[in-house]
Amino acid sequence: MQDTQIRGNNGPRYRHKHSDSAPYENIRVEKLTPIIGAEIFDIDLTRPLSQAQQLEVHRALAENQVIFFRNQNITKEQHLAFGSLFGDFHIHPAAPHVEGLPALMKIHADENSIRANGEAWHTDVSCDQEPPMGSILHIHTCPPHGGDTLFASMYAAYEALSDRMKNYLNGMTAYHDGEPVYRGTYKNLGVIDKPEYPHAEHPVVRTHPVTGRQALYVNRGFTSHLIGVPKDESTAVLKYLFEHMENPLFQCRFRWQQHSIAFWDNRCVQHRAMWDYWPNTRSGHRVTVSGDKPFYRPI
């Protein structure tokens, strides 16, 4: 049996270094794991947030990479208003949206669906020249069991690599292609394919523009190959990285309830939605916040 644990001869190979931050004064933040994820309490997203609350939600996202809210029975307009606090909207290049609201993407799977959104590990629309900064998903209809979403820290995945591997990857670029991902994917929902879908070259190791930390930025969903190395080498290295970054050590798992919200930072997080609830229904909407062009800056 293959041993997938990360370990060494002198304790764990990845040792998370926790840094104490200043206390929150306007929201309550409860970590899910020491590495990634936190639930946010004492906040009502159906009402306008104070400036102090906004600043602390921004900070909670930066510190925890993905944040969760419970019991937020928001309208479509309130969902969009919350997303607008973090930047302009990113419009998905392929997925269906609510009529008249192109920034509000439909997330839905039921007994008649032939696929569900996000079944494989990925970073949202990394094939764009300027991929999304963050995604805000509100689920209003949940199955009685299942339908969890897994989130993985690409900070931790990078930090757990050996120094030799980091040196190899630092400064390298990879090709991200939307064509094989989106072509025909939404045909059953009546979506007509576009003449072409986005593609881009991005650094394999991405420097976060807010925290300055380094994160792996390749994913199974969109990354086809590494630039500047032979094909067989690219295939082997990407296979290793994909398996490495999916280690449960780097993950948290969120169990959805009706009117829960997840807000994840695509610059340092990958996610995977579990479709284990057929024939039940899981449904909601996603607002995606625009980002900037990924870059790598040596530390």
pLDDT digits (tens, 9 = 90+) for 43-97: 999 999 999 999 999 999 999 999 999 999 999 999 999 999 999 999 999 999 9
Average pLDDT over residues 221-228: 97
CB neighbours of residue 220 within 10 Å:
18
Render pLDDT for 87-116 as a digit per residue (tens, 0 to 9).
999 999 999 999 999 999 999 999 999 888
Residue 231 domain flag: yes
Q: pLDDT at residue 2 above 50?
A: no
Residue 280 domain flag: yes
Residue 206 domain flag: yes
Interacting residues of 38 by C-beta distance below 8 A, sequence separation 6+: 29, 30, 31, 32, 60, 63, 64, 66, 67, 68
Average pLDDT over residues 9-17: 74
Residue reference for tokens 């881009």: 200
What is residue 9's predicted lDDT score, i.e. its pLDDT?
63
H-type alpha helices, the chain = 51-64, 76-84, 154-159, 163-169, 179-182, 231-245
Residue 136 domain flag: yes
Whether 77 and 98 have beta carbons less than 8 Å apart is answered as no
What is the number of structural domains in the chain?
A: 1
pTM of the predicted model, to two decimals?
0.94
Residue 295 domain flag: no
Residue 9 domain flag: no
**Tally of helices (H runs) and strands (E runs) in the chain:** 6, 16
Least confident of 109-118, 126-135, 149-158, 205-214: 109-118
Per-residue confidence band for 138, with pLDDT thresholds at 50, 70 and 90: very high
Between CA 270 and CA 273 the distance in angstroms is 11
Between CA 201 and CA 181 the distance in angstroms is 16
Query: Angle at CA 238, nearest 5°, toward 16 and 180?
Result: 120
Phi, psi of 283 (to 5 degrees): -150, 145
Residue 294 domain flag: no
Render pLDDT for 147-206 as a digit per residue (tens, 0 to 9).
999 999 999 999 999 999 999 999 999 999 999 998 988 888 888 888 999 999 999 999
Residue 11 domain flag: no
Domain that holds residue 77: 28-289
CATH number at residue 246: 3.60.130.10
Q: Strand, helix or coil at 218? A: coil
Q: Catalytic positions, please?
A: 122, 124, 271, 286
